[in-house]
Chains A and B, each alone.
Chain A
Amino acid sequence: MHDRPELPSDSERMVFKVDKLGVFVIPLSVFLIVTFGLYRKVPVFDTFLSGAKEGISSTISILPSLIGLMMAVSMLNASGALDLLSSFLAPVAHFLGLPEQVMPLVLIKPISGSGATAILTQIFEKYGTESLIGRVASVLSGSTETTFYAIAVYYGAVSVKKTRHTIPAALTADFTACIISALAVRLFLH
């Protein structure tokens, strides 16, 4: 009896390739940093320790902002406010050329990365990855960051309270990504 091994599909092969690339980036960076340090006669372990020590205080310094933000995000999720807001904003989505099913993702992405992943997987399950909705959702998540998380963490770490023009500029970038993602998917893929 012969069990012929199944050939990997195109997608598996592709992911395998890119995954390998991703797997190599971190070890290579570490290798380069340490080798270069040795070459320049840096006491590498002592230097590492003094850096790692600073990491502890850095991590602790962002904890208050994280607690505040994650509390707000889980409240928003639990209350059903996200779905309510999304249906409320459906006309805006149409106006921007975005499928309205992507709206919950648009709303959650700036505040929560894990929340955005959860919604994205729901979209994939419901509409598939190759639909217009699935593709716009992919492009949108791939090209935006968790804006408020970054703002809270970075400014929280150095206790800066007045952020001046940071939020307007960052939100302009997010808003641009919304419009362009719908456009780019239609331009490149459909």
Chain B
Amino acid sequence: MLNYIWAVLILISVLCAFFTGRVPQLSAAVMNGASNAVDLTITMMGMMCAWTGLMKIADAGGITRILSNLLHPLTKHLFPDCEKGGPALKAICMNITANLLGLGNAATPLGIAAMKELKKRNPTQTADNSMAMFVVINTASLQIIPTYMGTLRAKYGSPNPFDIVPAVWFTSVCALAAGIIVAKVLEGRKFEK
């Protein structure tokens, strides 16, 4: 499915550039987009390694086990085929905690670690239910304090930048619930795309 979405993005852009006469900008964008990705990866690498390193200490020290026990009432419903206290669930819980705390930069490496643990139990090229549920949770945004949004609003002159927080919570919870419900409903059905 990602194949089609990617193709549609590219084709629409090219067609549109012909219509709007922005072909020169488009050809520059192809090069820039690709090299920006490499820049981003290089900037990200240090932070990624720092968090995977800290994650390893947290795991060896037992923090991940404590977190995974705390979150177990929730995760046992979301990831029923993951073994309790197993490496996959522990990594998932670290990622969820980082997301809640608003540590977006730490959540990504922890999430990749969780995906790698899930992949160990499923060596195929097809996502299993736990992988899908995990990615869906990560595509929804749930954090206790949306710091970045508040700072941005204050910068643009908002007298009360955090007054949006209740509305953000309400919206996030509804969106997350909708995502989880649809994932649960669809996971039973065997459909291949």
Q: Mark A19-37, 1 if CB is under 8 A from B, else 0.
A: 1011001100110111011
What is the CA–CA distance of A60 and B111 in the complex, to the nearest angstrom? 15
B191 touches A184 (CB 8 A): no
B141 touches A19 (CB 8 A): no
B186 touches A72 (CB 8 A): no
B141 touches A142 (CB 8 A): yes
B16 CB within 8 Å of chain A: yes
Q: Please indicate the chain A residues that have their CB under 8 angstroms from the CB of B38 in the complex.
A: 63, 67
List residues 89-129 of chain A with CB under 8 A from any CB of chain B.
111, 117, 120-121, 124-125, 128-129
List residues 90-106 of chain B with CB under 8 A from any CB of chain A.
101-103, 106
What is the CA–CA distance of A120 and B127 in the complex, to the nearest angstrom? 34
What is the CA–CA distance of A163 and B128 in the complex, to the nearest angstrom? 8
A167 touches B2 (CB 8 A): yes
- A-B pairs, top 8 by smallest CB distance, nearest first, are A51-B56, A173-B179, A74-B33, A55-B49, A78-B29, A165-B186, A55-B52, A52-B53
Q: Please indicate the chain B residues that have their CB under 8 angstroms from the CB of A177 in the complex.
A: 140, 171-172, 174-175
Query: Given A14-B154, A14-B160, A180-B171, is A22 in contact with B191 using a C-beta cutoff of 8 Å?
Result: no
B166 CB within 8 Å of chain A: yes
Give me 29 A-to-B residue pairs in the complex whose CB atoms sit less than 8 angstroms apart, sorted by A's number: A11-B158, A14-B154, A50-B56, A61-B112, A70-B37, A71-B30, A72-B6, A74-B30, A75-B10, A78-B13, A78-B17, A80-B17, A81-B16, A138-B149, A142-B146, A148-B5, A151-B2, A154-B138, A160-B126, A163-B1, A169-B180, A170-B135, A170-B179, A173-B182, A177-B171, A180-B171, A184-B166, A184-B170, A188-B170
Q: Please indicate the chain B residues that have their CB under 8 angstroms from the CB of A34 in the complex.
A: 54, 57
Q: Which of B33, B61, B138, B139 contacts A72 (CB 8 A)?
A: B33
> In the complex, which range does the number of interface residues on chain A fall in?
35 or more
Q: Mark B28-64, 1 if CB is under 8 A from A, else 0.
A: 1110111011101100110011111111111011110
B132 CB within 8 Å of chain A: yes
List residues 155-193 of chain B with CB under 8 A from any CB of chain A.
156-164, 166-168, 170-172, 174-176, 178-180, 182-183, 186-187, 189, 191-193
Q: Which of B161, B175, B193 contacts A162 (CB 8 A)?
A: B193
A25 touches B102 (CB 8 A): yes
B113 CB within 8 Å of chain A: yes
> In the complex, which range does the number of interface residues on chain B fall in?
35 or more
Closest B-chain residue to A170, C-beta based?
Answer: B139
B74 CB within 8 Å of chain A: no
What is the CA–CA distance of A163 and B55 in the complex, to the nearest angstrom? 27
A55 touches B135 (CB 8 A): no
What is the CA–CA distance of A79 and B170 in the complex, to the nearest angstrom? 35
What is the CA–CA distance of A10 and B139 in the complex, to the nearest angstrom? 33
A87 CB within 8 Å of chain B: no
> What is the minimal beta-carbon distance from B35 to any residue of chain A, in angstroms?
9
Residues of B within 8 A of A (CB): 1-2, 5-6, 9-10, 12-14, 16-17, 19-20, 22, 25-26, 28-30, 32-34, 36-38, 40-41, 44-45, 48-58, 60-63, 101-103, 106, 108-109, 111-113, 115-116, 118-119, 124-127, 131-132, 134-136, 138-141, 145-147, 149-154, 156-164, 166-168, 170-172, 174-176, 178-180, 182-183, 186-187, 189, 191-193
The binding surface of chain A is classed by DSSP as helix
> What is the minimal beta-carbon distance from A66 to any residue of chain B, in angstroms?
4
What is the CA–CA distance of A74 and B172 in the complex, to the nearest angstrom? 28
B57 touches A48 (CB 8 A): yes
List residues 1-60 of chain A with CB under 8 A from any CB of chain B.
9-12, 14-15, 18-19, 21-22, 25-26, 29-30, 32-34, 36-37, 39-40, 42, 44, 47-56, 58-60
